[in-house]
Amino acid sequence: MSMPISNLIKVATIGLLLLLGACVEQQEDYVAEDPVDGSSEMRRLALERDGQLVVIVPPRGFCIDPDSTHDAAVLAGDCTALGVRPLGPPSSTLALMSASVSDAALPGSGRLRARIASLEVSLQAGRLTALLTQGNSDAHLIKTRLSGDSLYALIEEPERGAFDGASRQYWRVLSEVNERMIVLTVRALDTYWPGEEALLERAIAFRESIRRANSAPV
């Protein structure tokens, strides 16, 4: 199975640093003078991987960074920080999100929930750890949580993590959509750490937003 994660490290780093700067300004009561409605691609984006489409829709208050799309992966941040008028109230949790789509299904055989459970066992045993990291092989698994057809993993990087200014801990979500494995990452700023449960809520919202988007025709 080929995952695009390793090929996206440099691109993701640049995009995340840009979003980090934008989020800091937003946290300090920065508001764009003339927020725009934003293009449809900032609200909803279909990524194609080996003939299959997976629609990425960030949760309420978050928008896609259109300049970040690369090789079936995308970054999302706070709509206001990106100069886009949010649909509905903004999120109370400042977070950075990324989504990548594999060119293959989740590994294993059988139903998705069984494969997710098997994947959790493998990760807890120290296998397949490349699925958890963002360019730092020293990052380690703190805990996992199964929720239906998705696995949520709390990861911690060493003090010198992959991205300056980012929180050392982040949630990674592993699941499958339209026979393609998806990997979601939700992390916060180190300065404004909301707590692992608040960040988990954002990760769940991201996963469920993608689920709803792919339950309807593209």
Q: pLDDT digits over 35-57, tens only?
A: 345 556 688 899 988 889 999 99
* 3-state SS assignment for residue 162: coil
Asked whether residue 38 is domain-assigned, the answer is yes
Given a cut of 70, whether residue 114 has pLDDT beyond it is: yes
What pLDDT sits at residue 209? 95
Asked whether residue 111 is domain-assigned, the answer is yes
58 within 8 A of 206, measured Cβ to Cβ: yes
What pLDDT sits at residue 94? 77
CATH number of the domain where residue 194 is located: 2.60.120.1690
Domain that holds residue 83: 6-214
> Which 8-state DSSP code applies to residue 207?
H
Asked whether residue 66 is domain-assigned, the answer is yes
Asked whether residue 207 is domain-assigned, the answer is yes
Q: How many domains does the chain have?
A: 1
Asked whether residue 1 is domain-assigned, the answer is no
Reported as a single tens digit per residue, the pLDDT across 71-101 is 788 889 888 777 776 666 656 667 889 999 9
What pLDDT sits at residue 216? 62
Given a cut of 90, whether residue 25 has pLDDT beyond it is: no
The pTM for the full model equals 0.81
What pLDDT sits at residue 89? 61
Mean pLDDT in residue range 141-167: 84
Phi, then psi, of 97 in degrees rounded to 5: -130, 145
pLDDT interval class at 67 (50, 70, 90): confident
Asked whether residue 50 is domain-assigned, the answer is yes
Asked whether residue 143 is domain-assigned, the answer is yes
CA dihedral 213, 68, 98, 110 (to 10 degrees): 60
